[in-house]
Each structure stands twice: as structure tokens, then as C-alpha cells.
Amino acid sequence: MTTTYFSPTVKVPVIQPTHVSEGSYKKIGNVDAYCVGRSNNKKAVIVSHDMMGFNPRSEQLCDIIASQGFHVIMPYFFNDEPYTIERIKREGNFERFLWLSQAAPQEYVNKVIDIIITYLRSEGYREFGFFGASWGGKCAVFASHNSAFTAAVLVHVPWLNANDFKDTQCPVAILSSGDLRDLTPIVQALKSTKPFARKIVHKRFPEARYGWVGALSNYSNPMIAELNTETMRIAVTFFRENIGVRNY
């Protein structure tokens, strides 16, 4: 990653249509995981893949976060094989939700998170953030309920309601696309009940469409690549400002 995207706050590697992943896969307990980067300040970010499971695009996102001085782990969150493009083409939302309820119920996702947190603590890591897009963004909501996390970033999550954040214990960054419903009412409700209201970030990308980040994204499209780069700039800036900070 030699090309960087410059901004007033932070520069991050630019999303590339082809990318050689910098990390490696290992077993953590009984969980397969993509691991990349080291952190001198012992801060780590857990990343959730989307419904498509492990993929090179998500690995590139992990590598970008790791380039900012974080240790990054993307564990496998399903107790089944990942969803496929063929199923996306032929099945609707009902079938997808049914599959998710069986392959990755909240209790199972939380169990995987606990396994990774336990491992990271055994390696000396003490402060944690979480990043997820699409279904992975729902995992970020689950993580925000866990007091181990001090920052969570969720991108283009189509199924959110105010009640999802009732137990949120850390600042969140909510990034959404123009074709999804406006989440401003949910964000306002969240800000009205949390001591970290001023740290909550909400940005809507009007030109973006659902899925612009993740397995099905087209990084060969310059506009989509630029949107992804900006998304990651916001994410790593948010992590820098919030991971390990608890004085709200």
C-alpha cells in the first residue's frame, strides 16, 4: 500500500481494485480468523465480514485499519458455510433473515466476540474497537453492548431501529447510503440517552448505494473506490479518537 489518501485529519491507503492481503489466517480457539498488524499501544479492532464470509475486499479493509497502528482480527462469525451470490440472486429478504437466524444468532456472534477478546487480552491487548458493514454492521451493534469496546463503526446496515442501541455502551459511527432510509431519527434518539452523545458520528453518503463496502463492492469503479477510501478514513479517525477513551 504505497498510495495514500490525504485529508485534514488522517491519511489512509487508497482502496485498490487489486490488492495483495498483508495478513494471514490462524485458528483462535475453534474460530478461523484473518489477523494483520501489530499495535505498540495494545489497541485492537475486531472486524466482521458480511454475509459472504471471508473475502479479499474485507481483507483490504482490515489491512487499512492495521496500517493506522491497530492489531486487527476478522473472525469467522458463522456456524455454517457463507451465503453465496447465487442465493442472493434467487432468494429474498425472508430467506436471508431465516438463514442468518440459524447461521449466526446473536448468542453465537457474542460467543465468537468473547473468544477473540479473551485471546487478545492474553496477548496483552486492553482496548478494543469493532468495524462491520451490512450484516457485519449488525454485529457492530452487538459489540457496542459489550463494555470491552470503546468504539464501534457500522456501515450500510439496512435493518436498524432505535431499540438496537438501548444497551450501547460506547460511541458509534453510523455510515449509511442514499438508497437506505434516513437514520437521523435513530441517531437523535441515541444521542438523547447516552453520555457520549457528542462523540456519535452519523454520515449519509447520498451517492452511495447499499453494499458499497464489502464483498460485493466494485473497487474497479473509481467513484466506489473513493467512497470506500473516505469510509475508511472516517472509520480510522473515529477509532483513533475513541478506542481506549472512557471519560465522556
pLDDT in tens, 3-58: 443 355 688 989 999 899 999 999 999 999 999 998 888 999 999 999 888 999 99
Question: Between 92 and 154, whose confidence is greater?
Answer: 154
Question: Between 151 and 178, whose confidence is greater?
Answer: 151
Per-residue CA distances from 83 to 33, 37, 88, 189 (Å)? 18, 28, 8, 33
| CATH classification number, 4-242, choose in 3.10.20.30, 3.40.190.10, 3.90.1150.10, 3.40.50.1820 | 3.40.50.1820
What's the half-sphere exposure (Cβ side, CA atoms, 13 Å) at 68?
27
Whether 83 shows a pLDDT value over 80: the answer reads yes
Percent of the chain having pLDDT more than 90?
66
Question: Between 211 and 220, whose confidence is greater?
Answer: 220
Assign 180 a pLDDT band (cuts: 50, 70, 90): confident
- Cβ count within 10 A of residue 87: 13
pLDDT of residue 80: 87
Domain layout of the chain by residue ranges: 4-242
Taking CA 116 as the corner, what is the angle to CA 235 and CA 51, rounded to the nearest 5 degrees?
60
Average pLDDT over residues 191-206: 94
Average pLDDT over residues 224-243: 94
* Statement: the pTM of the whole predicted model exceeds 0.85: yes
pLDDT of residue 26: 97
Average pLDDT over residues 121-137: 95
Mean pLDDT, the chain, rounded, equals 91
pLDDT of residue 8: 57
pLDDT of residue 146: 97
pLDDT of residue 9: 65
Average pLDDT over residues 101-126: 95
Spatial separation of the C-alpha atoms in residues 32 and 127, rounded to whole Å = 22
pLDDT of residue 6: 38
pLDDT of residue 1: 42
- pLDDT digits over 133-167, tens only? 999 999 999 999 999 999 999 998 888 889 999 99
pLDDT of residue 178: 83
pLDDT of residue 25: 98
Percent of the chain having pLDDT more than 70?
96
Spatial separation of the C-alpha atoms in residues 16 and 3, rounded to whole Å = 9
Whether 210 shows a pLDDT value over 50: the answer reads yes
Spatial separation of the C-alpha atoms in residues 80 and 10, rounded to whole Å = 38
Per-residue CA distances from 209 to 73, 139, 186 (Å)? 27, 20, 20
